[in-house]
Chains A and B, each alone.
Chain A
């Protein structure tokens, strides 16, 4: 077992050595030219991409605002007093203010 472990350690070290000693490929002049040609040909305009990013952010903001409004509405409806309670509280002059303050309005 000990022998196996030592052997495995040795193999692992050897793997690392070989990995690090691989021949280096150097970028050629032709490669640089080809990449630049590709970039120009693609004519990727970064300004429309910025617009796409901005529109994504706007959409996410709108969805978040709608979700928040929905939560406030649901909470408001859940806390809404019954007609009798409202009538009684209304007669006491506190009903609407209390409901509004409870529902976050």
Chain B
């Protein structure tokens, strides 16, 4: 089987159809990453943008890192672009953190098995609320929280993807997490007040 770099060379030499091998090889991983970051209905569009961007900038791929890592950086940037676009169109707020809505956290923290969680409406409610919480962060802050604190990805990878220094990533990630926790604390206080009242 040809390596990714061999295929990249073929495409650079004008064999556009060879790109299909890369597309099929890496699309599941791109879908997984994009699928966690954007609403389900937009995953295909964003994933397509990822591969189009990769194709257009194929000449900048030098083979010093695995092709998948290079592609995942592009995916992260396209997801940031997606949320920036939504912000511009004033759609970023998405579903609100509904005070009277389903207590998603209870649903999740009850240690439901994956099957139980996947089955019910609980999942949809929980995902909707998570998206609403994350939508309150800047696109880059959101990417840092998701990448570092949720997916345990290395700081260096995020720094390279966002084209930032390692120090900047550390500072921004720390601030982003603080922002997220402040939002959650606010919700905790409100919940307790409702309980007391």
Interface residues in chain A, defined as those with a beta carbon under 8 Å from any beta carbon in chain B: 4, 7-8, 10-27, 31-32, 34-36, 38-40, 42, 44-47, 49-50, 53
- Which residue of B32, B59, B146 contacts A50 across the interface (Cβ within 8 Å)? B59
| Contact A47–B14 (Cβ < 8 Å) | yes
8 tightest A-B contacts by CB?
A: A27-B27, A14-B108, A7-B188, A11-B184, A18-B126, A25-B43, A14-B105, A18-B130
A65–B36 Cα distance when bound, in Å, is 48
| Contact A15–B188 (Cβ < 8 Å) | no
| Contact A31–B14 (Cβ < 8 Å) | no
B55 at the interface (CB under 8 A from A): yes
The interface bits of chain B over 12-45 (1 if a CB of A lies within 8 angstroms of the residue's CB, else 0) are: 1010110110011001100110011000100110
| Contact B59–A53 (Cβ < 8 Å) | yes
Closest Cβ neighbor of B12 among chain A residues: A46
| Contact B47–A20 (Cβ < 8 Å) | no
| Contact B40–A8 (Cβ < 8 Å) | no
Number of cross-chain contacts by CB at 8 Å: 114
Distance (whole angstroms) from the CB of B117 to the closest CB of chain A: 6
Contacts of A50 in B (CB 8 A): 12, 59
B56 at the interface (CB under 8 A from A): yes
| Contact A39–B16 (Cβ < 8 Å) | yes
Given contacts A20-B150, A32-B23, A38-B52, A15 and B133 within 8 Å (CB-CB): yes
A100–B185 Cα distance when bound, in Å, is 72
| Contact A36–B40 (Cβ < 8 Å) | no
A26–B40 Cα distance when bound, in Å, is 11
Contacts of B133 in A (CB 8 A): 15
Closest Cβ neighbor of B55 among chain A residues: A39
| Contact A44–B109 (Cβ < 8 Å) | no
| Contact B52–A39 (Cβ < 8 Å) | yes
Given contacts A21-B114, A47-B14, A11 and B58 within 8 Å (CB-CB): no
Contacts of B184 in A (CB 8 A): 8, 11-12, 15
Contacts of B164 in A (CB 8 A): none
Distance (whole angstroms) from the CB of A18 to the closest CB of chain B: 5
Closest Cβ neighbor of A36 among chain B residues: B20
A24–B28 Cα distance when bound, in Å, is 9
B170 at the interface (CB under 8 A from A): no
| Contact A16–B20 (Cβ < 8 Å) | no
- Which residue of B17, B36, B52, B108 contacts A17 across the interface (Cβ within 8 Å)? B108
Given contacts A14-B108, A39-B52, A53-B59, A19 and B188 within 8 Å (CB-CB): no
